[in-house]
């Protein structure tokens, strides 16, 4: 059901430009169709080699725009399958939640809401909370191998254990948004459940990283 309730003129002014950028139909980005299941890697006898192969499969999600846009290396989020600078311009702020007076929830509510624009049905992303990943968790410009090492480093992963990394990947609602991003956005490949299973298998096989 299309929700047309916009709380103020400010919300219209701030949010509509963002959705215009965040479309996937003309981006030229080829979608990755799903994720291979854990069982596809059972025939790799060596644990390290199997762990690496599993993480490389996880990399299809970790390097997808739905993840990278919220893990930027700079001071502002990206948006769209093209990973363009966020419009309107915003900054991460001290708490990764935007600047005072223009925090993320100025436009981003508790759930996606759809609007009708000149280009058809679009949507403004929503989830509670909605925020950027801390700068030490920046993934843009990183290789899959570098992201892997970063995920294992408590100084750069939010001080999480590997089990907590699995919990985050498999059950966190903001991570899960990537598979339900609303109209005009390509979802991450596979599903959060499949991604969680790959994460668990990667950990259980030694959490090895590609070279």
pLDDT at 26: 31
Secondary structure (3-state) at 54: helix
Give the residue-averaged pLDDT of 185-203.
Answer: 97
pLDDT at 111: 95
Q: What is the pTM of this model?
A: 0.82
Cα atoms found within 13 Å of the Cα of residue 149, Cβ hemisphere only: 6
Q: Which two tokens stand for residue 49?
A: 């080699």
Average pLDDT over the chain reads 85
pLDDT at 209: 98
Interval 110-148: pLDDT, tens: 999 998 876 778 889 999 999 999 999 999 999 999 999
Interval 77-121: pLDDT, tens: 999 899 999 999 999 998 999 999 899 999 999 999 998 876 778
Instruction: Give domain limits for the chain.
Output: 9-204
Taking 80 as the threshold, does the pLDDT of residue 20 lie above it?
A: no
Give the residue-averaged pLDDT of 9-36.
Answer: 43
**CA nearest to 24, candidates 185, 180, 183, 182:** 185
The answer for residues whose C-beta is within 8 angstroms of residue 143's C-beta and 6 or more apart is 210
Taking 50 as the threshold, does the pLDDT of residue 62 lie above it?
A: yes
pLDDT at 117: 74
Give the residue-averaged pLDDT of 157-178.
Answer: 97
Taking 60 as the threshold, does the pLDDT of residue 16 lie above it?
A: no
In angstroms, the CA 114 to CA 78 distance is 20
């Amino acid at each position: 059901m299309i929700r047309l309730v916009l709380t103020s003129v400010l919300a219209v002014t701030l949010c509509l430009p963002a959705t215009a950028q965040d479309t996937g139909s003309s981006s030229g980005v080829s979608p990755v169709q799903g994720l291979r299941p854990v069982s596809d890697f059972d025939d790799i006898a060596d644990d390290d080699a199997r762990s690496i192969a599993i993480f490389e499969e996880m990399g299809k999600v970790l390097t997808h725009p739905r993840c990278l846009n919220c893990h930027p290396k700079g001071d502002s989020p990206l948006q769209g399958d093209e990973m363009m600078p966020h419009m309107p311009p915003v900054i991460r702020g001290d708490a990764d939640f935007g600047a005072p007076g223009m925090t993320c929830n100025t436009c981003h509510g508790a759930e996606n809401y759809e609007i009708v624009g000149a280009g058809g049905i679009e949507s403004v992303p929503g989830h509670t909370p909605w925020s950027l990943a801390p700068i030490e968790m920046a993934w843009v410009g990183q290789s899959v191998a570098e992201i892997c090492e970063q995920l294992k480093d408590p100084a750069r992963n939010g001080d999480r254990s590997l089990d907590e990394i699995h919990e985050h990947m498999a059950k966190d609602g903001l991570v899960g948004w990537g598979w339900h991003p609303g109209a005009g956005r390509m979802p991450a490949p596979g599903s959060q459940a499949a991604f969680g299973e790959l994460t668990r298998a990667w950990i259980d096989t030694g959490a090895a990283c590609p070279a």
